[in-house]
Structure formats: structure tokens, C-alpha cells
Structure 1
Amino acid sequence: MSPDADAPTTDHRRATAERNVERILDAAAALLARGAAASTTAVATEAGVSRPTVYAHFPTREALVEAVAERAIHRAAAALADAHLDEGSPLDALDRLVDVAWDHLDRGGAIARAVSDQLTTGARARAHTALRGPIGELLARGQATGAFRTDLPTPWLISSYFALMHACGEEVRAGTLDAADAVSVLRPTLRAVFTG
């Protein structure tokens, strides 16, 4: 039997494994968004797979939660790339950043809140690193053109951006700010922070 004869079987197994991983991650994300514990048993039930299948891909609950967070961050980073923060005026790009970031935070806020409490410091740092780069590049471009302030350290401005975005999410969840008003509040607030 030729080696090529095993290729369809291997491809089928790989495709099944990839589908299972997506189902598991979707299930864990859904449970976390509902405020559920996302135990292995609950994830397996929600995903329609066996517990051994979950363990085969994610040997610990921590690994699963980190994978959920990483997938959400990768999706947010892709959305930032699609926002073309390197085009147009820095202030207009900042507005686009707020629009895109709020859309992801609004949809994934419950997941972000759930996983942030459960991730290690290193995992949280890795999660934000993918987003800090594009924001830092936008800040540098704005500073080079004189649109953004230069009197405060760039890492502090980026951290302030994240803090305000998350604070807005908390206000919406607490019912003190309407989600429909979030972008109109965030845009001028972040413009003021970035421009001084």
C-alpha cells in the first residue's frame, strides 16, 4: 500500500480534529459569556463531544481558557488590521480604532472579563501584546505628525487606552451607560487623552 493511500484518512482526521477544536472553543466561549464555570464536562456537553476529546486538545482547564482568550485576541487583531490604522489622519484612525475595539469588547466583554480573572499574568500580557503593537504604531504616527501628545510615555498612553475601554465596558454592564452611547463617549475621551 502506497503512502498516498493513507492521505485521505489523515486529512479526514485532521479536519475532524480542527472542527472539534472550534466546537470546543465556541462552547467554552459561550459558557464564559453566560457567566458559567466552563468546566470540562460543561464544555463537552455544550460542544457535543466527549470529555476525552476535550482533554485530548486541552489537557487542563487553564489551557482551554487561554485558548479562548487567544482566539478572541487574534480576531480583534485581525479587525484592527482591517481598520487600516496606518491610513488617514491619526485622529480619524483613532476614531476607527475605538469603533472596532468597542465592537469586539461589546460582543466579547463577558468573555474578556471571565478569562481575565482566570489567566496568568504572562497569558494576559501575551493577549494584550497583539493589540498593543498596532495601537503603539498609531500613537507613533500621530506623535510624528504633531497630532498626539509627546509629553507622556507611549506605554502609559496605551495602558490608558485599555483602561478606558474596559472602564466603559464596566459602565455598560453596570447599567450606568447605554451601550449605544459608548462610542460617542469613548471617542472624545480618548482623543483628549491622546492629544492632551
Structure 2
Amino acid sequence: MATSARPRRRADAERSIARIVSAAREVLSRDPDASIDDVVKAAGVGRMTLYGHFPNRASLVEAALAEALRVGEEVLSAVDLEGDARAALARLIEPSWSLVAESTKLLQAAEDVLPAARIRELHGDAATRMADLIRRGQRQGVFRTDLPLTWLVNVVHYVLNGAAEETRAGRLGAAEAPGVVIATVQSFLTPPAGGQAMSGN
């Protein structure tokens, strides 16, 4: 009897955690300053239940961000990145833009409570994918090599987040944002005229 009760309790706990994380992701994506009480209400659990799984706000925010990135990784990993790197980059930016736009406020909440190194670590898969694609474009001769690879990857990230901010401010339409991001990114990745002074690798 006790043996069967333990797996049941574990399953109940896992369902409770999933409900809390889902609620935190939804609430914080609307308001990065949302309180624990807001999450408790959205999840339909008690404060003691939430704190039993997440001892503080930072651990809850981290779990919400990790879940958003996990779902995003499923989307991005399905993108066809074969062939010409410039075309592949455009295909990757479209869903990347959507994911960034959806999670901007959640990321803001994370930046308030998590170390920058931890946030970079959580974004590791997406950063590695972009770096690999840019590196391939460099080998194909369609992307510049005169700037450090890590800088190029970070600039793509900055442009995506900048477009999300412009959209929130009403200065850029959501429908035109992906095209603007693609044009901007491809422009700064294009090799400069007159050769490339140094290797970005």
C-alpha cells in the first residue's frame, strides 16, 4: 500500500509543479513584476504548495524561463537549416522572432532575479545553433569573418529583442517585424567590401 502511495504522490507533485510553472510562465509573460500571489491564483494552488516546490521567486522564475526555452527549442530544432546559410538564417529568424516577442517580459523578470551567466546558460542551445549557422555561412563566404563570432551571435540577439521593444512601443508593426529583423541581420552579416581583416573563429 505504501509503495503504491509513493508513486501516486510523486505523480501528484509533478502535476502540481507543471501547473505552477505553466501559470508562472503565463503570468510573468504578461507582467514581469507579477507577485507570487498572482501565480498562486493562476495555478489554483496554495502558497504552501508553491513554496514546497519553489523556495523563492528566483527558482520559480528560472523554472518558468526554462520551460519557455524548452518549448521554444522544440520549435527551433524543427527548422530546416540545410543549404544556403543566408536562406537558412531567414528561416530560423522567423520563429525566433515569435518566441522572443512572446517571452520578452518573462526574460525581463528573469534578468531581475537571476545572474546573467545563468540566463546565458539557459539560452545555450539557441546560441549554439545560431553560432553554428553563422560559422557555416562564413565557410560558404556569405557571412563576414572580420568580427568575433560571439559578437555576431549577440548582435542577432540584440536585434531580435530591439524589434520586440519597438513593437511594444508601437513603432514597428508585428507583421513587418520579422522582415525588418531578417533584413537587418543579413545586412550586418554580409562581408564588407574590400576583404575581411580577421577571422571571427
Instruction: Return the structure number with greater helix share.
Output: 1
Task: Look up the match of 2:52.
Answer: 56
Partner SS state of residue 59, structure 1: coil
The residue number in structure 2 matching 1:120 is 115
Give structure 1 regions of 4+ aligned residues with deviation exceeding 6 angstroms. none
In 2, Cα distance between equivalents of 1:117 and 1:91: 35
Aligned pair 1:68/2:64, yes or no? yes
For 1:10 and 1:142, the matched residues in 2 are separated by 52
Is the Cα–Cα contact under 8 Å of residues 74 and 130 in structure 1 kept in the other structure?
A: no
Deviation by residue 1:125-165 (Cα, 9 ceiling, x = unmatched): 21222221111111111111112111111001001000000
Moved more, 137-146 or 25-34: 25-34
- Please give the secondary structure, in 2, of the residue aligned with 1:68: helix
Greater shift in the superposed pair: 170-179 or 40-49: 40-49
Give the CA RMSD over aligned residues. 1.7
- What is the distance in 2 between the residues matched to 1:171 and 1:165? 10
**Equivalent in the alignment of 2:182:** 187
Q: What is the correspondence of 1:24-173 to structure 2 with a 5 Å cutoff?
A: 24-35=20-31, 37-85=33-81, 87-173=82-168
Any idea what SS the aligned residue of 2:123 has? Answer: helix
The one of 5, 22, 33 aligned to 2:18? 22
2:113 partner SS = coil
Task: Please list the CA deviations of residues 92-144 of structure 1 after superposition, one character each: whole Å capped at 9, or x if unmatched.
Answer: 11001111101111222222233233322222221222221111111111111
Q: In 2, distance between residues paired with 1:10 and 1:89?
A: 53
Separation (CA, whole Å) in 2 of partners of 1:20 and 1:138: 38
Contact 1:73 1:130 in 2 (8 A): no
Q: Distance in 1 between matches of 2:84 and 2:114?
A: 36
Alignment coverage as a number of residue pairs: 191
**Structure 2 unaligned regions, length at least 5:** 192-201
One-letter amino acid of the structure 1 residue matched with residue 181 of structure 2: L
Structure 2 SS opposite 1:150: coil
Give the Cα–Cα distance (whole angstroms) in 1 for the partners of residues 112 and 36 of structure 2: 18
Structure 1 position 6, deviation (Å): 4.6
Structure-2 separation of matches of 1:166 and 1:185: 12
1:18/1:154 Cα in 2 relative to 1: closer, same or farther (>3 Å)?
same
